[in-house]
């Protein structure tokens, strides 16, 4: 009888509004320090109600060779830094032979697209450089980072809006489990542009009633929430078979024991509680665990009215009212394609340190949200299994199940 391949995580890398590296991310989250701020470009747009975002601070990327850096957009720079960190933690100075790479983003570089659009309007297309084009390809970060780091295995870039990061982690999990690859980098990246805020504002899905208090603007499950705060960054994991990790003596950070994905077909913008319930139930079935074994549900919960209600109702149906649940969007904002990767890294740290982070700015629970055990203050307790959700506009949903190393 064939023994199923176990898939483990041995490395992680992050670029976030808290700065460069996993340590900066985790210290920022644990401290509850705010990273949201007014966006100058939004102040002059009276029709856009939201005025705040969370962006990556200035980071020195000069260590990246210029021949590689000149073809990289901001989100590719974020991804290079995160990939390098994940590789190093996994024990590699250079990418191992045949390494897979699963990474995407919601959109490519809007900043670069706007620059090229300016050339078009002025009838100066001859000014477009090869490096400009390389920055606006749909798989630009995946391509430029794999070239720079000599990642020569299969490179696959799923783009599933807000579910992108976790979807690519799930694809890597499935690829390792099936023997398609032995090791892989996986996650998502994103760069902020005011267009993100404007588009979600049109859909009435942004936070606008705390513009004067940016760090209180994103309020998952809170009665006074009005929507999300756009953000950016990159979160990547190094995953491999347990056999591979043990053979080379790598430290195992966690095991991915289950994954599921499904699609909402009734509404492009908001998933139903039923679809979300099925996604979580299928992930638990893939993990071969019962709902009561879960120590924490790390919700997608972005702070939108309908989305938070639906997810909480689905969670109650699957886990019952006693499940511990939190969202990290109140800390980080919604980094779109990067959110699944960054938040999964936070889940790894919660497993490692035995701590549950609170949902920032959850002061008064919306009575329409299901009565769950919402984490409101930092809790120190044994944490063995975490379920992680990511749901996307367009109907793409996914759930992963993480377990502490046995």
| Residues with catalytic roles | 162, 300, 334
Are the C-beta atoms of residues 263 and 355 closer than 8 Å to each other?
A: no
Are the C-beta atoms of residues 339 and 188 closer than 8 Å to each other?
A: yes
Angstrom CA distances, 396 to 58, 111, 271, 382, stand at 32, 26, 9, 32
Pull the structure tokens for residue 299: 């919700």
CA distance 330 to 187: 21
SS3 for 294?
coil
- CB count, 10 Å around CB of 110? 19
Q: Tokens 């984490």 correspond to what residue?
A: 375
SS3 for 54?
strand
Inter-helix orientation angle 305-319/273-287, to 10°: 40
Of the candidates 399, 362, 401, the residue with the CA atom closest to the CA atom of residue 378: 362
Q: Which residues of 287-307 are buried (b: 16+ CB within 10 A; e: fewer)?
A: bebebeebbbbbbbbbbbeeb
Enclosing H/E stretch for 179: none
DSSP letters for 300-355: ---S-HHHHHHHHHHHHHHH-TT-EEE-SHHHH-B-GGGHHHHHHHHHHHHHHHTE
CA distance 183 to 233: 23
CA distance 88 to 113: 33
Angstrom CA distances, 394 to 179, 182, 276, 299, stand at 30, 31, 14, 18
Q: Fill in the DSSP letter of residue 163.
A: G
- Longest Cα pair distance anywhere in the chain, in angstroms? 67
CA distance 6 to 176: 8
């Amino acid at each position: 009888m064939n023994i199923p391949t176990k898939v483990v995580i041995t490395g992680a890398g992050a670029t976030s509004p808290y700065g460069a590296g996993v340590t900066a991310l985790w210290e920022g989250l644990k401290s509850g320090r705010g990273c949201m701020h007014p966006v100058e470009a939004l102040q002059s747009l009276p029709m856009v109600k939201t005025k705040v975002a969370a962006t990556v601070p200035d980071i020195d990327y000069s260590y990246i060779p210029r021949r590689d850096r000149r073809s990289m957009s901001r989100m590719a720079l974020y991804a290079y830094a995160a990939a390098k960190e994940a590789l190093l933690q996994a024990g590699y100075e250079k990418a191992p032979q045949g390494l897979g790479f699963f990474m995407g983003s919601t959109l490519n570089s809007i900043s670069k697209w706007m620059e090229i659009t300016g050339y078009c309007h002025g009838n100066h297309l001859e000014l477009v450089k090869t490096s400009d084009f390389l920055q606006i390809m749909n798989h630009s970060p995946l391509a430029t980072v794999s070239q720079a780091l000599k990642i020569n295995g299969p490179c696959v870039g799923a783009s599933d809006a807000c579910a992108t990061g976790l979807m690519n982690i799930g694809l890597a999990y499935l690829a390792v489990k099936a023997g398609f690859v032995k090791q892989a980098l996986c996650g998502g990246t994103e760069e902020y542009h005011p267009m993100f805020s404007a588009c979600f504002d049109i859909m009435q899905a942004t936070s606008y009633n705390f513009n004067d208090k940016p760090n209180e603007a994103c309020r998952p499950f809170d009665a006074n929430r009005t929507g999300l705060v756009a953000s950016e960054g990159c979160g990547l994991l190094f995953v491999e078979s347990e056999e591979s990790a043990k053979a080379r003596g790598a430290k195992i950070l966690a095991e991915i024991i289950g994954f599921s994905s499904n699609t909402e077909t009734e509404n492009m913008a908001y998933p139903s509680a039923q679809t979300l319930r099925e996604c979580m139930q299928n992930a638990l079935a893939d993990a071969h665990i019962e709902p009561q074994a879960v120590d924490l549900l790390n919700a997608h919960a972005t702070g939108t009215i309908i989305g938070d209600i639906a997810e909480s109702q689905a969670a109650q149906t699957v886990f019952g009212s006693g499940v511990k649940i939190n969202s990290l969007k109140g800390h980080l904002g919604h980094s779109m394609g990067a959110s699944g990767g960054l938040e999964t890294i936070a889940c790894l740290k919660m497993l490692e340190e035995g701590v549950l982070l609170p949902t920032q700015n959850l002061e008064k629970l919306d009575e329409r949200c299901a009565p769950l055990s919402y984490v409101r203050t930092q809790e120190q307790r044994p944490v063995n299994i975490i379920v992680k959700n990511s749901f996307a506009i367009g109907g793409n949903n996914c759930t992963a199940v993480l377990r502490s190393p046995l």
